[in-house]
A and B are shown apart, each in its own frame.
Chain A
Amino acid sequence: MKMNLLPAIRLTIATLVLFCVVYPAVVWGIAQLAPNNGKGEVITVGGKRYYANVGQQFTEDRYFNSRPSAVDYNAAGSAGSNKGPSNPDYLQSVQTRLDTFLLHNPGVQKNDVPVELVTASGSGLDPDISEQGARVQAARIAKVRGISETAVKELIAKHTEGPLLGLFGPAHINVLKLNLALDQLK
């Protein structure tokens, strides 16, 4: 043990310099070349800054609503609900979310509501919904904003991001980008 202690301490110090100073410095240096100097992807609209990937709470009827969140989109304390699939209280709250959604979106059929609109995401900061999740909200938005439903649906189609390279993963819509575009719509 004694024979090993000194080399262990010295190697620890040497590798601390390598992995705690040199390595992050190299990655940080490369990140300076990345968009926004490696501080995360940011959108600026009308002088206001938003993180493109960090979901925001949208609950008002005039905006496309984002998914339920266990932390109300607190980006300084991410968390999922961690509710088990058979938990009766949890299933009750899903039912309540569904009822509330149908109340705000008269005319929408239950089986048109995609599951992500009544379930909370893992991070509580999910920036996306599915294309169907946006389309079921189109009629409400058109009515509240006094624009045509076709215009809203065109906007949805325009903002749907397809699978990666058209091949991998699900299609999805960034709710923030969609709502910012919606505000630009006249």
Chain B
Amino acid sequence: MNTELLGVIVLFAITVLLAIPFGSYIAKVYAGHKTPLDPIFNPLDKLLYKVSGINEKREMTWKEHMFALLTINVVWFLLGIFVLMNQSWLPLNPDMNPDQTADLAFNTSISFIVNCNLQHYSGETGVSYLSQLFLMFLQFVSAGTGMAAAAIVFIALKNRTTDKLGNFYALLVKSCTRILLPMSIVVGAVLAFNGTPMTFDGKDTIVNVQGDTVQVSTGPVAGFVAIKHLGTNGGGFYGTNSAHPLENPNYFTNMLEMFSQMIIPLAMIFAFGFFLQRKKFGWMVFGVMTAGFLLLLVPTMVWEINGNPAIGKMGVDISAGAMEGKEVRFGSAASAFWSIATTVISTGSVNAMHDSTMPLSGMTELLAMMTNAFYGGCGAGILNFFIFIVLAVFISGLMVGRTPEFFGKKIEAREMKIAMIVALLHPLLILAGTALASAFPEITSANLNNPGFHGFSEMLYEYTSSAANNGSGFEGLGDNNPWWNITTGIVLILSRYLPIIGPVAIAGLLARKKFVPEGAGTLPTDSATFGLMILGVIVIIAALSFFPALTLGPIAEYFSMK
């Protein structure tokens, strides 16, 4: 167990250490400063702009940004539906997989453009290689979309009065080519050298040692897995995601994949600080997020390492931990770490089945997605956190009787209204969705894989994962049917675009305001006190909204096992 803990601690330390220089690189990319990779990417980006007829120097207002973002997302969505519903006759389908149904294609296409990757199909049987490649494309551009939106906020918060916030297409292209692409090539290559397939051959047929004939699914896995993690998408090539021995062959690849999913969200925090030349502010954000992360992580690791007491009672040696749904090569510590990393970060990839984790671990996984602001997805994490910053500035401003200001800009009623709508939308979608599913047991109860409280948790988890654009699941839930495909699809759309438009709108409105230099009356926003204030706001909103639902699911299950 010591080596298991050491593996987790060293991995986290390495990731944080590398996130700092990488954040500086990201800040340079968005600021248009020189970077060592310019000789390769300047011509590539220019070519893309030229082919697309884009003038990358034309600056946009926040509204123009949002129109550009939504338009291109609609194009991707429609193209996605077309590919998925016609994959049986389109090329690159060696396993002869059938077309997706309309409701499944709707859900799949949405969930990939919103960076969620809910995956109500199984990769081996539900998609062709062409669809996999197209979904891989969406994994690049949906991550790029989130990062571009965060970059708009960065630009808007620079101290000046303007409504020109850079060019959306340039931010999108730079995010994809200069940040996601080079890292994906490196990670994909390393995975291929560790036994992850990268081939276009169809299923392989093998006769096992005991004489059974089995088919082994392969495919262009290595390239897919690289961007699935770097873009915090999380959609697996195979049904069981990174628990699959070809998708994640050994402990080293497990460390690499965990690193890949954490590096960009962490680096974006530091990039925030570097870009605004407010490094201390970046560290404050990192501190708050890390505190939240550890509060969820440490107990989860303890519960998973201690194992399932119900199995312990049978007399079995449970010193290896709760191994149902886990792989021996990763062990319970790294699997517990992954389960919280993937839920705070909105990746949603899994290396162990969350449905089989201990009841309270299920609760921390849910809480990680319910708060949805500790690190968070590529770009989206910063946007969610920005909402909580605005709320904290406003509340603390009221508490000390000063006009709330943030980076020299006054926060007024309009910004507050937007922030409140975005903050309350998340619990509304999760709780209303779960309530609706619970209200129609004649439709939904047959989809549950477990009885009692745990069955309720499966429904709660599905809507939470959708609303957090996470994509992991209590996968026992039979979710490929119209009810789940359509309701979660609607949740996905609302929970992606409103939390992007809201923060960008606030930042755009703030950018237009007159700059008030910071004086003695200004509440410092880079202090530890303010950090605690933000953490308090997050905890209060999450705890008050979700506690009743959690008591019906994981908490009740925990006490029922006593």
Contacts and interface: CB of A to CB of B under 8 A. Distances in A.
Contact of B251 (A54, A67, A169): A169
A57 B212 contact: yes
Contacts of B169: 7, 11
Given A82-B355, A84-B557, A170 B331 contact: yes
B194 to A, nearest CB: 8
A57 B451 contact: no
Interface string B348-388: 00111101111100000000000000000000000000000
Interface string A80-119: 1111111110110011001000000000001111111011
Contacts of A31: 189, 192-193, 198-199, 222
Contacts of A118: 311, 316
B240 A132 contact: no
Contacts of B250: 53, 164
B245 A20 contact: no
B72 A4 contact: yes
Interface in B297-347: 307-308, 310-311, 314-331, 334
A163 B251 CA distance: 8
Interface of B: 3-4, 6-7, 10-11, 44, 47-48, 51-54, 67-68, 71-72, 74-76, 79, 122, 124-125, 133-134, 136-137, 140-141, 169, 172-173, 176-177, 181, 184-185, 188-189, 192-193, 195-201, 203-204, 206-210, 212, 214-218, 220, 222-223, 226, 238-240, 243-246, 249-252, 254-255, 307-308, 310-311, 314-331, 334, 350-353, 355-359, 449-454, 457, 474-476, 557, 560-561
Nearest to B450: A84
Contacts of B316: 94, 98, 110-111, 113-115, 118
A59 to B, nearest CB: 7
- The 10 closest A-B CB pairs, nearest first, are A82-B476, A122-B243, A168-B7, A110-B315, A84-B454, A169-B251, A31-B192, A31-B198, A170-B331, A8-B72
B193 A27 contact: no
B184 A23 contact: yes
Contacts of B475: 79-80, 82
A83 B329 CA distance: 21
A67 B329 CA distance: 13
Nearest to B214: A75
A137 interface: no
B210 A10 contact: no
Contacts of B53: 6-7, 10
B192 A8 contact: no
Contacts of A5: 71, 75
Interface stretch (A123-131, A142-150, A151-159): A123-131
A24 B199 CA distance: 10
Contacts of A76: 124-125, 203, 214-217
A114 B317 contact: yes
B328 A85 contact: no
Nearest to B326: A122
B356 A81 contact: yes
A176 to B, nearest CB: 7
Interface in A25-60: 26-28, 30-31, 34-35, 37-41, 48-60
Given A24-B223, A82-B476, A130-B320, A168 B215 contact: no
A15 to B, nearest CB: 6
A37 B195 CA distance: 10
Contacts of B124: 76-78
Q: Which of A50, A112, A121 has the most CB of B within 10 A?
A: A121
Nearest to A75: B216
B176 A19 contact: yes
A83 B355 contact: yes
8 contacts: A8-B68, A10-B54, A85-B324, A115-B317, A123-B244, A127-B329, A167-B6, A169-B329
A19 B136 contact: yes
B328 A170 contact: yes
Contact of A7 (B52, B204, B245, B353): B52
Given A38-B192, A78-B239, A85-B357, 12 more contacts: A4-B67, A31-B222, A37-B199, A38-B198, A39-B218, A80-B243, A110-B316, A115-B319, A118-B311, A121-B325, A125-B244, A179-B209
Contacts of A87: 450-451, 454
Interface residues of A, number: 102
Given A8-B71, A12-B76, A37-B199, A115 B323 contact: yes
A19 B269 CA distance: 26
A138 B312 CA distance: 23
- Between A11, A67, A85, A171, the greatest number of chain B beta carbons within 10 A of the residue's beta carbon is seen for A85
Contacts of B71: 1, 4-5, 8
A56 B201 CA distance: 21
B353 A85 contact: no
A180 interface: yes
Nearest to A114: B317
Contacts of A20: 133-134, 136-137
B311 to A, nearest CB: 6
A9 B75 contact: yes
A105 B109 CA distance: 51
B193 A54 contact: no
B188 A27 contact: yes
Nearest to B3: A163
A28 B245 CA distance: 19
Nearest to A72: B212
- Among A26, A57, A76, A172, chain B packs the most CB atoms within 10 A around the CB of A76
B311 A94 contact: yes
A120 interface: yes
Contacts of B196: 40
Contacts of A185: none
Contacts of A115: 307-308, 311, 316-323
A172 B310 CA distance: 25
Given A15-B141, A82-B355, A167-B3, A1 B251 contact: no
B323 A119 contact: yes
B52 A14 contact: yes
Contact of B325 (A14, A98, A120): A120
Contacts of A129: 328
Contact of A19 (B141, B218, B355, B451): B141
Nearest to B352: A122
B56 to A, nearest CB: 11
